[in-house]
Structure formats: C-alpha cells, structure tokens
A and B are shown apart, each in its own frame.
Chain A
Amino acid sequence: MNCTKCGKKEVMMERKHSGQRLCPECFISGIQKKVLKDIRKYGLIEKGDNVMVALSGGKDSVMLLDILSSLQNRGIIDLMAVTIDEGIQGYRQDGIKIAENHARRLGIEHRVVSFKEYFNISLDEIMALPFPRGACTYCGVFRRWLINRTAREMGATKIATGHNLDDETQSIMMNYLEGNIENLRRIGPRSHPKSDKFIVKIKPLGEIPEREVGLYVVAKGLEVHFAGCPYSQESFRAEIGEIIKNLSKNHPTIMYSTLRGFHKIKTALKKEDSRNFTMDNCIKCGEPSAQELCRACVFCEELEKKKTH
C-alpha cells in the first residue's frame, strides 16, 4: 500500500481514522500547510510581527521554529528566539546547545537567559532547599516571567510556544476535572492579556498530535534534544496524559473532538467572564500582576526565607 497522496512506496506514517498513508515528503508538506492554515484561521500572526519562539531545543519548539522560518524567509515576520536555562545539571545544557545551533543556522537573534541571573537561584539549588514545592511549580512561574520579560526587551510582538494537541487536550481535561474554570477559559491558540506589558502568546502547533511532531522532526532530520527532565514527576497532568493516550488507541480522533468541543464551550465561557479586575504592576519587579506582588516575587521571597533557615 503506497502513499495515498502521491503513490510513492516509502510510507512513513498512517492516520488510522482517515486511512491516510503518507510518504515523508507528503507528510512534511501536509503538516506545514496545516500549521500555516491554523495560523491564518486563528489570526495568530500578522504581517510585520516580531515573533519570539520559546526554544528549548525539544521537538515541539524545534518544529515550530522550522515552520515559522518559512514566514521569515518570505519577509512576513521577523523571527527571534529565547532559551530558558533553569539550571538543571546534566539535562538543560544539551538543549541549549541544540537551540543555539538552530538559531545560528537560521541567522536569527537568540538569547539564553537563566533563573540564576534573574532570580539568583538555579532550579537545582531550589530543589536542594528544605521542603520545596514541586519543581514544575517554580519552573512554570519563573519561566513565564522570564519569557515575557525577555520578549519585551527584544521587542517581540508575539511569543510562540510549541504546545501540541496532546498538551492542549490535557489542559482541557485537567482543568475541567479539577473544576478550574478560570484556567479553562484561558486555554486556546492565542492569549488575550489584560495588560499590554504581557506579550500575546500563540500556539501554532495546538492541533498537531505530539507523535506527529516527533515524526516531523525525525523525518526532516532536524537536530532535537530528546530527553526527559529529571524533575518530571508523577503529576496529575501526566496521569491525564496517560489516560488520553490510552483512549486514543481505540478512539484515534478523541483529542480532536475534545478540542473541537472545547472551542464551542469557550464562546459561552467568554460571555460568563464578568470579572473586571485591573492589572497593576508588581511593586517589586514591575511586571503586571493582580496582586501587590507577582507570583515570581512571592516565590523569591519564600525562597529567601528557606535559604536563611
């Protein structure tokens, strides 16, 4: 059975739900078209945007950079990248190297910024303190702060992240099951920040299954950091991910339908959003925050106390 698009013999993937069987060329060009179509459909990028990719060197961000570079080549956007160095011994260094290689190859502006230089403590040092919170909690809060700050400094008008369909479906199910409607409302292909100091975030790969992201980077021979973070633990997200992946075996369209259904609910959720709180600036770091102190600064103070104990 040959490629259902062009008839070539070298079939590399099969979409069981549609009966599609694709050769590498047809798979790669199909994915690129789908991502560019979603960018238009959801209005993620406008001509003249300065798009900063959050580039970890992992498969998702490398694929995202690869596809967005075609927009840069056509003169539609200006592309740049940032890599966050959380300070994870024996893990992050390889990803940074790979991110640097891609940025150099494409000739784009690239910054590596670390927890250590901005928060005066690395993730490894945090996790060595007594009774820390989960690593991913610090990591998420500090990373978001750093990416947004760097995006503003670099003059970015959009922050592009590599979240894929699996990530999005997990977020929907997680927040739904936890009854966290506030967070549910925020899920989607682009953010609508309440402060203009928050740069708009976009997720162009939100409708691409994780496995197809992996297939894409391997098929294109892109250099990618394939490794697991030593702190990734049994989280609720991981449990949900496991369930959805298992369900997908016999119900291959379940992630698409979850996302489609969510898009319909979201319209209603939006109308419900009556809260009209104002964003102020964090009194310590100046980043926008609904509270006096932003979460990053709350964590920094908490860590200072732990250090002196």
Chain B
Amino acid sequence: MKFTLINNKKTEQLSFKNNLTIKELLDQIEKPLETVVIKKNGQIVLEDEIIQEGDTIEVIQIIYGG
C-alpha cells in the first residue's frame, strides 16, 4: 500500500502494510497525537482512520514544546 505523506511541509512517498491507521503512522514517525492535526485528502480525520492506497496524509503540528 503506497501513500503520500506531507510532514513539516516535506512531501514523501511511503510504502506500508495494508490497513495502517493514522495512529500507527504517528507512532512510526514519532509524533504524539496530542500535538498534531491530521488531514487525509484535505479533510481532518480521527486517529483510527485507515490509510488507503493513493491517499495523501498531511501532518500539521499545532503544539510546540516550551
């Protein structure tokens, strides 16, 4: 399963197992859920949303330390 990840304005193509959830993705890239908002294909989604082939996932960091 391939999808596009936009994280910190950097865009990359990723390849993962099927049925990857947003929550699992965030664990992988080490972003705590409380500090980000996630958009899937332009819409804000919940952490249990499943990523599908061809999706564009955008990670927007809204909380910074300090």
Interface residue ranges, A against B (CB under 8 Å): 10-14, 21, 24, 59, 210-211, 213-215, 217-219, 226-229, 232-235, 238, 245, 248-249
Contact = CB atoms under 8 A, between A and B. Distances in A.
B46 A228 contact: no
A211 B5 CA distance: 21
A202 B44 CA distance: 31
Contact of A226 (B46, B62, B66): B62
Contact of A219 (B34, B35, B44, B46): B44
Contacts, number: 54
A228 B35 CA distance: 12
A235 B35 CA distance: 18
Given A11-B46, A218-B37, A233 B60 contact: no
25 contacts: A11-B46, A12-B44, A12-B46, A13-B46, A210-B62, A210-B63, A211-B35, A211-B62, A213-B62, A214-B63, A215-B62, A217-B62, A218-B37, A218-B39, A218-B62, A226-B60, A226-B61, A227-B64, A232-B64, A234-B66, A235-B66, A238-B65, A238-B66, A245-B34, A249-B34
Interface of B: 34-35, 37, 39, 43-46, 60-66
Nearest to A232: B66
Contacts of B39: 218
Nearest to B64: A228
B66 A218 contact: no
Contacts of B60: 214, 218, 226
A234 B44 CA distance: 31
A232 B63 CA distance: 13
B7 to A, nearest CB: 13
A226 B66 CA distance: 13
A131 to B, nearest CB: 21
B44 A24 contact: yes
A36 B44 CA distance: 25
B44 A14 contact: no
A220 to B, nearest CB: 11
A232 B66 CA distance: 5
Contact of B65 (A13, A215, A228): A228
A113 B42 CA distance: 36
Nearest to A10: B43
Contacts of B35: 211
Contacts of B43: 10, 12
A91 to B, nearest CB: 11
A245 B46 CA distance: 19
